[in-house]
Structure 1
Amino acid sequence: MLLWFKRIIITLTLLLLALLAFLRFQGWQYIAAYSGGGFARSLPDAASIAKNQSCDTPPIQVLSYNVMYGSAFIEAMAARFRNGETGKGELPWSVRLPEIRERIASFSPDLLGLQEMDADSDVAAIVPLGQYTLVSYHLGNFQYGDSALLFKTERFEPLDAGQLWLGNTPDLPMSLGYRPLSMIRYVNWVLLREKASGFTFMFVNTHFDNAAANKEPSATLFRQRIASLTTKGLPVIVTGDFNTTANTERYRRFTGTDLQPPLLENAYVLAHSPPVDAVLHPDHRIDHILAGGPCKVEAEQWSIDPRPLKSGLPMSDHDPVFARLRFIDNPVSQ
């Protein structure tokens, strides 16, 4: 009997060690990669795109919005196991989504970066996919839209798209972050060409983790892989929940504002916006719209919409950030 018990303990210990090794050495990510998800796509060759690039474009309306638990699945699990509570006391997704849909439509964005989405059907509940093209991560039937992005199909055509994973192995899908067993986070990107003008640029959306152990290396990776594309001749527009205010060293790092010119600039700065309520200023917000590249970039408008639901209850724990951007040929770079 004692020998049998020892064998069980040894077997369980070996299984536990195997599981820890599986997680430690990104076993899940390799399975995701080789079972159809693939490794991260190479980022576009910015130098070749920059040749004969014209920067003169009509205004591009950009919206970034963390909708807070935009998932029918999470709502169903919360209803089953937690009496409907998802952690912050907010109203269920199904109750909030009609007004979220109206709020997004009121901005009529050409480019839309969403955070905390889940399946494609959740996105379709708030954005008409007949008018927009959706880019998010798919692995077979599994869909993960935490950094889902959309663009107006009539105006833009996609040339390439992919994800960069915020973890120690950024080219492996479904990375669990830099700290063990963190949330899965990624940078979502699409290379777009404006159909009318041929203007080609990168649209990027992301959601940094809220743990400093993940945010710090994510900021460095973002600068190296994404923000640096602007130095290679590629115009870039970025939306995201960076869990980082604009008055921090981390923000200065991933935007490259330590350089002249900066790698990316906040749309608030580009708009030369007058002082706003301190609570709404980028120095006190963690959601940002950024832009940069070889073109001169102007923001004709920048705003944050703090309005709650019609009932007065929160629509989300974040507010939509909106900007109307224009790219103009820069005489200095010609």
Structure 2
Amino acid sequence: MKQITLILFALLIGSTAFSQASKIELTTVAFNVRYNSSEDGVNIWENRKEWLTHSLRFIKADIIGAQEVTYKQLTDMAQLLPSYNYIGVGRDGENNGEFSPIFYNKIRLEVLKSETFWLSTTPNQVGSKGWDAALPPRVVTWALFKDKISGQTFYHFNTHFDHRGENARIESAKLLSKKINTIANSKPVFVTGDLNSSPESETIKTLLDNELKDPYLTLDKDAVYGPAYTFNGWNAGGRNANHRIDYVMYKGAVEPISLHILDAQRGDLYISDHFPLIFKAIISL
């Protein structure tokens, strides 16, 4: 009887350990870092880059989906984030144009596959501009990641939608949703991006209708902290929920823990003209 009890106890411990091993906690950041414009006064890139990368190291982000990153900023961030690698190409191809890169903790995570596609009717054509988009091409960078300890895998998609073309944003949301369904299938998915769309817009509705979830809406109010907006425009006065245009979304076996919109401002100095979002979640497989 005693031997049976010991066997049952061992099985229970083993089952609990397996259950714990099948879950991993991930910290994902969405961050429009603002391109390095010489016209930003006190907020020029040189005044922000140390602060910005220090914040990411302190947060201990596992994944960082960044937007508006020029090649100069990309190399600066790579140098100042030595524990991270990145994937992604410029929207004009190779190192040309702004990037929407994904930085990842190279000690913890491994890239199994990654690609970039363009937000247009010809997504595989480098530099293609879609619909009524105002600016040069917009891109989506995605990767299949593997957690080196648990072996668990998940997908991350990072993007930046057009700031003027309403139809371009809606069609981009449709294309992104279609690509996620095709590429990721039933795997856990994270999406980060400056979507240039308020929470009530048709663009966001399109994404939510395609089974993506916004933790700002799904989490209990005590698990969400920070201002109601993400875009500050170097002046946070008068900003409201219509200026929540940056997002972290998720799909699949993902359990949200918390969402923090980091209102990083020091007098006249801002970390960026967008505040970053810090999303903690558990992946269960």
Query: What's the TM-score once normalised by structure 1's chain length?
Result: 0.68
Partner of residue 320, structure 1: 276
Question: Are residues 110 and 215 of structure 1, via their aligned partners in 2, closer, same or farther at CA, if it must alter by over 3 Å?
Answer: same
One-letter amino acid matched to 1:303: H
Q: Do 2:127 and 2:136's aligned partners in 1 also have CA atoms closer than 8 Å?
A: no
One-letter amino acid matched to 2:27: Q
Give, in whole Å, the separation in 2 of the partners of 1:153 and 1:142. Answer: 21
Give, in whole Å, the separation in 1 of the partners of 2:101 and 2:241. Answer: 22
Q: Do 1:165 and 1:186's aligned partners in 2 also have CA atoms closer than 8 Å?
A: yes
One-letter amino acid matched to 1:268: Y
Kindly indicate whether residue 53 of structure 2 is the aligned counterpart of residue 101 of structure 1.
yes
Q: Do 2:140 and 2:159's aligned partners in 1 also have CA atoms closer than 8 Å?
A: yes
One-letter amino acid matched to 2:66: L
One-letter amino acid matched to 2:178: Q
String of CA shifts for 1:111-152, please: whole Å, max 9, x gaps.
001110011x42242354531111111688634443111111
Unmatched tracts of structure 2, length 5 or more: 1-19, 231-239
Give, in whole Å, the separation in 1 of the partners of 2:75 and 2:148. Answer: 24
One-letter amino acid matched to 1:109: A
Partner of residue 66, structure 2: 114
% identical equivalent positions: 26
Q: Do 1:146 and 1:185's aligned partners in 2 also have CA atoms closer than 8 Å?
A: no
**SS of match in other structure, 2:177:** helix
One-letter amino acid matched to 1:288: Y
**SS of match in other structure, 1:142:** coil
Kindly indicate whether residue 101 of structure 2 is the aligned counterpart of residue 135 of structure 1.
no
Kindly indicate whether residue 36 of structure 2 is the aligned counterpart of residue 85 of structure 1.
no
Deviation at 1:236, TM superposition (A): 0.7
Question: Are residues 179 and 253 of structure 1, via their aligned partners in 2, closer, same or farther at CA, if it must alter by over 3 Å?
Answer: same
One-letter amino acid matched to 2:73: D
Give, in whole Å, the separation in 2 of the partners of 1:150 and 1:213. Answer: 29
Partner of residue 243, structure 1: 196
Listed as ranges, the matches of 1:269-308 within 5 Å are: 269-274=217-222, 278-279=228-229, 284-293=243-252, 295=253, 297-308=254-265
Unmatched tracts of structure 1, length 5 or more: 1-53, 76-83, 258-262, 330-334
Deviation at 1:177, TM superposition (A): 2.8
In structure 2, which of residues 76, 83, 92 is the aligned counterpart of residue 125 of structure 1? 76
Deviation at 1:228, TM superposition (A): 6.0
Please report the RMSD computed on the Cα atoms of aligned residues, expressed in angstroms.
2.7
Question: Are residues 144 and 191 of structure 1, via their aligned partners in 2, closer, same or farther at CA, if it must alter by over 3 Å?
Answer: farther
Query: What's the TM-score once normalised by structure 2's chain length?
Result: 0.78
- Structure with bigger gyration radius: 1
One-letter amino acid matched to 1:91: N
Aligned residues: 252
